[in-house]
Amino acid sequence: MIDKKLYDMPKGTDMAWCPGCGNFPILNIVKMALSELDRAPQDVVICSGIGQAAKTPHYLRVNYFNGLHGRALPPAIAIKNVNPKLTVIAESGDGDTYGEGGNHFMHTIRRNPDITNIVHDNMIYGLTKGQASPMSEKGLKNPIQPDGVIVDQFNPLAVALSLDATFVARAFTGDILQTKEIIKAAILHKGYALIDVLQPCVVFNKQNTYQWFKEKGYYVDEAHDKTDKMKALELAFDLDRLALGIIYQREGKPSYETLVREGNEPMFERVLDTAALNTLIKSYK
Amino acid sequence: MKNFSRDISLVLGGSAGMGIQTIEATLVSVLKREGYHVFASKEYMSRIRGGSNSTEIRITNKRRASFVKRIDFLFALDADVIPHLEKRITSKTIILGERQKVCRGTTVCQVIDVPFTQFANELGNPIYTSTVAVGIVLGMFRADEALFETYLRERFARKGNEIVEKNIEAGKKGYDFGKHIAYNEGIEVNLSQNKAVEKEILIDGNDALGLGILASGCNYISSYPMSPGTGILTFLAQHKKEFGIVIDQAEDEISAINHSIGAWYAGARAIVSTSGGGFDLMTEGVSLSGIIETPIVVHIGQRPGPATGLPTRTEQADLNLVLYAGHGEFPRAVFAPGTHEEAFFLAQQAFFIADKYQIPVFILTDQYFLDSIRSFPEESLQTLTPENHIIKTDADYKRYALTPDGISPRGVPGYGQGLVGIDSDEHDEDAHITESAEMRVLMHEKRLGKIKGIREEALLPTEIGDVHHAEMIVISWGSNKGVLEEALIHIDDERIAGVHFSQVYPLPENTKKLFAKKKVVVLENNASGQFANLLKLEYGIKISESILKYDGDPFFVEEVVKRFKTLIKDFEL
């Protein structure tokens, strides 16, 4: 097991998160999961977009690609394609993943790359000060919808299931140990793994608080058949009670990088086959 | 007697799906093997079947690479061809076609009757009429019949003996008919043939660029299809196995560029290929490449805009787009091949500059260039040794280490003991977000400072004629090199010379010197004179006149010559 401290930033690192933010436990959980799975910092890449959750890679010592809003997934897929030996995690917020990056979310699931997608879901836009996110509940009042959100919530689990995602889970930051186990299982899963992690935004979301998540959330029991897609969909569509745990998991679907390339060697080791190039040039004669 | 001894313009017209492309491909191959210089370019409508399209094949005794308005021989495959090409047809144009079909609805129609239906009946299938058509041209030219037969054997070998024999029969029918026409009409073709041409490479702009991309060591493409940029995606997909290329058809252009930048970050050499409309969506990725100093090579096959514009036509109006794409300030480089050989070389140069300076680099082509076919000697393909600028990292590696030349050694994740971070926010040497005003200035200046090296490595423009002694210099960039060269030959006046730019940004330092005390004229395929404006802005070069065209067609040699003549008068040279 790799010493968890290896992932720590130097003491005194300035952090942009508010005291009490749900991002802190997720950061800690990711470090614990990586350490227990023995992933050397050099072999891990975290991709993120923009937002408070997207700052996560700045607060632990691994490789990272902190790119553009909504765009955590395209580079994550590419990085896995170029070097399948890396552990690739895309970690961003609900607005970033389901709003700005909605198209990429959809098409990443279809590709099934072997990456882990941790979505910090606080049902609000934190960085821009409290506007509605695709996950905001109907009726939630915010600066742009003073009378409350008028459209339905996005349903990431149902969308992922309908697109044949092979690992779909929901977790809650209030439960560190269970969330850690779910994230470990997601990293070990061969293929795209979605974990929608419920977390409170203590500053801007006064509706979906720790208490609220605690009351709504419940774990699927031991007997839950993870391979039963219809059951999983049923759980995903239930918004009165929020099922936690691995809702669905299926092995055996080929992951994207195994479809678009051969072998496992990093592509920077490849050299141009000049003989093949010359043959090709001559074929134009 | 109609004698053709130097330069023939043969045009094939018909609707999509009639086999014009097959006739074009076969004709240029056989004629090249015969030792003729060939250049072919096409124009087509944005539809899958029907419409009226044409291909011009120039058969010349000297190397030519441009489009002429004149039509010497027109193969009209249906009734729409003559009205479609009306402005280019003169009394000297020899029109061939099946009179019954071609002349439908017209009273005056001077067409040499080619009974394609009868040939099809005799051969048992209309599929062979394209081979008949090729045969007719070769017959009129009195080309080597045995060579034609050899070609047909090679081309159809995969399809079995019966098909081969049928095509040979069709070819012979056409050939005899062509000889017969030539005799009847008093057509005499005696272009000189050149043995060396037989051994040349015959290729279109798309594949020439594609070969250059392969030669650069490119091993990754993520793109969303858009004409005419799709050809590169297709080309690389066809060769993915031999060259170990990852092909990703992205869900949109935003994904394509972010994906490709991610690929470079992890150690691949990636390109995205698109057209102006697709590139509009990619601009956020361009500024990402700018701040994270991760290379990206973008190919844009230009077509007329704005928005969907004329989807299958040509224009050079996206220079401003690539010069200013992305917000904020950061260095970039723009290449625009003028010939197929240049495309092969510039693709490699684009990857080299992108990799060395860790910047976005653009290759601007256009529909006309990508679709035009010509031959040239294999030796003119210039190969750069692909250099990989990736370093193995140490434990204390800093991705954005401040260095005197602004280039921080680029590591990749999983290679060495270091950690490689990149960040789209302003960042410190370790790639962590910072709002330190001091660090902002240091990082910004580090990035911007790289332009010095990029400029020092900028490719010099090509001088055509005696630039030093000329009074008027005509400047071209990108695909207009061929038309400028040929128009200067026609005008044959030492007071005019040409300068062609294949690197359009940044320009080499001493550019301005070339134009001191000269009348400067810029030739470009757009309405606002974008390159002329860049020359004014960057170098304060005074532009006397612009020769512009923006109707969706490339320049005709004739119209450029005409403009030159007027300019000579206007400038009182």
* DSSP string across B459-494: PPPEEES-TTT-SEEEEEEGGGHHHHHHHHHHH--T
Residues of B within 8 A of A77 (CB-CB) are: 248, 259, 262
What is the share, in percent, of chain B residues with pLDDT greater than 90? 91
What is the pLDDT confidence band of residue B286, given thresholds at 50, 70 and 90? very high
Taking CA atoms, A126 is separated from A16, A131, A165, A204, in Å, by: 12, 8, 28, 6
Half-sphere exposure of B190 (CA within 13 A, CB side): 5
- Give yes or no for a contact between B303 and B333, defined as CB atoms under 8 angstroms apart: no
Residue of B193, B191, B189 whose CA lies nearest to B181: B189
Mean pLDDT of B250-270: 98
Q: Do A262 and B244 touch (CB under 8 A)?
A: yes
- Give yes or no for a contact between B140 and B189, defined as CB atoms under 8 angstroms apart: yes
Q: Give the per-residue SS3 of A163-224.
A: CCCCEEEEEECCCHHHHHHHHHHHHHCCCCEEEEEECCCCCCCCCCCHHHHHHHEEECCCCC
Taking CA atoms, B477 is separated from A201, B365, B370, in Å, by: 55, 10, 15
Q: What does the pLDDT look like over A6-25, one tens digit per residue?
A: 999 999 898 999 999 999 99
- Give the containing element (helix H, strand E) for B340: helix B340-357
Token pair of B558, please? 């004739």
Q: What does the pLDDT look like over B436-495, one tens digit per residue?
A: 999 999 999 999 999 999 999 999 999 999 999 999 999 999 999 999 999 999 999 999
* B38 vs B30: CA distance, rounded Å: 10
Counting one residue from A and one from B, how many pairs have CB atoms under 8 Å apart? 186
Residue of B153, B444, B31, B412 whose CA lies nearest to A82: B412
Say what the pLDDT of residue B387 is: 76
Phi, psi of A61 (to 5 degrees): -95, 90
Residues of B within 8 A of A57 (CB-CB) are: 421
Q: Do B424 and A66 touch (CB under 8 A)?
A: yes
Residue of B386, B421, B391 whose CA lies nearest to B219: B386
Residues of A within 8 A of B268 (CB-CB) are: 78, 81-82, 267-268
What is the pLDDT confidence band of residue B244, given thresholds at 50, 70 and 90? very high
> Rounded to two decimals, what is the model's pTM?
0.97
Q: Do A260 and B246 touch (CB under 8 A)?
A: yes
When CB atoms are compared, the residue of A58, A62, A63 closest to B432 is: A58
Substitution target in B203, B219, B246, B258 with the highest count of A β-carbons within 10 Å is B258
B208 three-class SS: helix
- Give yes or no for a contact between A31 and A3, defined as CB atoms under 8 angstroms apart: no
Residues of B within 8 A of A6 (CB-CB) are: none
Residue B106 has pLDDT above 90, yes or no: no
Q: Do A63 and B267 touch (CB under 8 A)?
A: no
Edge-to-edge strands, sheet with B472-477? B462-464, B496-501, B472-477, B519-524, B545-548
Q: Which residue of B has its CA nearest to A101?
A: B255
Taking CA atoms, A83 is separated from A92, A117, A268, B296, in Å, by: 22, 18, 9, 18
Residues of B within 8 A of A82 (CB-CB) are: 220, 246, 262-263, 266-268
Phi, psi of A178 (to 5 degrees): -65, -40
What is the pLDDT confidence band of residue A248, given thresholds at 50, 70 and 90? very high
Residue of B83, B41, B11, B16 whose CA lies nearest to B554: B41
Say what the pLDDT of residue B192 is: 87
For chain B, the maximum distance between any two Cα atoms, rounded to a whole number of angstroms, is 85
The length of chain B is: 573
Say what the pLDDT of residue B385 is: 82
- Nearest CA distance, A191 vs chain B (angstrom): 17
Q: Do B220 and A78 touch (CB under 8 A)?
A: yes
Say what the pLDDT of residue A45 is: 98
Say what the pLDDT of residue B386 is: 72
Residue B107 has pLDDT above 70, yes or no: no
When CB atoms are compared, the residue of A64, A66, A107 closest to B251 is: A107
Task: Give strand pairing partners of B498.
Answer: B464, B474
- Nearest CA distance, B474 vs chain A (angstrom): 33
Taking CA atoms, B175 is separated from A150, B51, B140, B181, in Å, by: 74, 29, 8, 10
- Nearest CA distance, B293 vs chain A (angstrom): 12
When CB atoms are compared, the residue of A62, A103, A277 closest to B252 is: A103
When CB atoms are compared, the residue of A61, A68, A285 closest to B201 is: A285
Q: Which residue of A has its CA nearest to B267?
A: A268
Say what the pLDDT of residue A21 is: 94
- Give yes or no for a contact between A201 and A177, defined as CB atoms under 8 angstroms apart: no
- Give yes or no for a contact between B526 and B494, defined as CB atoms under 8 angstroms apart: no
As a whole number, the mean pLDDT across chain B is 95
Residues of B within 8 A of A268 (CB-CB) are: 266-268, 388, 390, 412, 415
- Give yes or no for a contact between B421 and B430, defined as CB atoms under 8 angstroms apart: yes
Q: Do B413 and A47 touch (CB under 8 A)?
A: no
When CB atoms are compared, the residue of B244, B412, B421 closest to A64 is: B421
Edge-to-edge strands, sheet with B50-60? B112-113, B94-97, B73-76, B7-16, B50-60, B37-43, B373-376, B201-204
The length of chain A is: 285
Q: What is the dihedral of CA A209, A210, A214, A219, to 10 degrees?
A: 110
Q: What does the pLDDT look like over A211-245, one tens digit per residue?
A: 999 999 999 999 999 999 999 999 999 999 999 99
* A153 vs A176: CA distance, rounded Å: 26
Residues of B within 8 A of A63 (CB-CB) are: 413-414, 419-421
Encode burial over B320-336: b for 16+ CB neighbours within 10 A, e otherwise.
ebbbebbeeebbbbbbb
- Nearest CA distance, B338 vs chain A (angstrom): 20
* A66 vs B292: CA distance, rounded Å: 9
Residue B2 has pLDDT above 90, yes or no: no
Q: Which residue of B has its CA nearest to A279?
A: B242
Q: What does the pLDDT look like over A28-44, one tens digit per residue?
A: 999 999 999 999 999 99
Q: Do B263 and A81 touch (CB under 8 A)?
A: yes
When CB atoms are compared, the residue of B414, B424, B433 closest to A85 is: B414
* B342 vs B344: CA distance, rounded Å: 5
Q: What does the pLDDT look like over A269-279, one tens digit per residue?
A: 999 999 999 99
When CB atoms are compared, the residue of A260, A277, A281 closest to B201 is: A281
- Give yes or no for a contact between B370 and B44, defined as CB atoms under 8 angstroms apart: no
Q: How far apart are the first and last CA of chain B?
A: 39
Q: Give the per-residue SS3 of B87-140.
A: HHCCCCCEEEECHHHHCCCCCCCCCEECCHHHHHHHHCCHHHHHHHHHHHHHHH
When CB atoms are compared, the residue of B246, B258, B413 closest to A261 is: B246
Sign of the Cα pseudo-torsion (B124, B126, B131, B135, in order)? positive
Mean pLDDT of B275-295: 98
Q: Which residue of A has its CA nearest to B419?
A: A63
Indicate the DSSP class of residue A59. Answer: G
Phi, psi of A188 (to 5 degrees): -75, -20
- Nearest CA distance, A105 vs chain B (angstrom): 10
Q: Do A82 and B268 touch (CB under 8 A)?
A: yes
Say what the pLDDT of residue B5 is: 86
Provide the 10 A C-beta neighbour count for residue A242: 19
Q: At B53, which amino acid appears?
A: N
β-strands A44-48, A87-93: how paired?
A: parallel
Q: For the ranges A68-77, A130-139, B1-10, which has the lowest average pLDDT?
A: B1-10
- Nearest CA distance, A66 vs chain B (angstrom): 5
Residue B116 has pLDDT above 70, yes or no: yes
Q: What does the pLDDT look like over B361-412, one tens digit per residue?
A: 999 999 999 999 999 999 999 999 877 899 999 999 999 999 999 999 999 9
Residue with tokens 């140069």: B349
What is the pLDDT confidence band of residue B110, given thresholds at 50, 70 and 90? confident
Say what the pLDDT of residue B16 is: 87
Q: At A247, which amino acid appears?
A: I
Provide the 10 A C-beta neighbour count for residue A221: 7
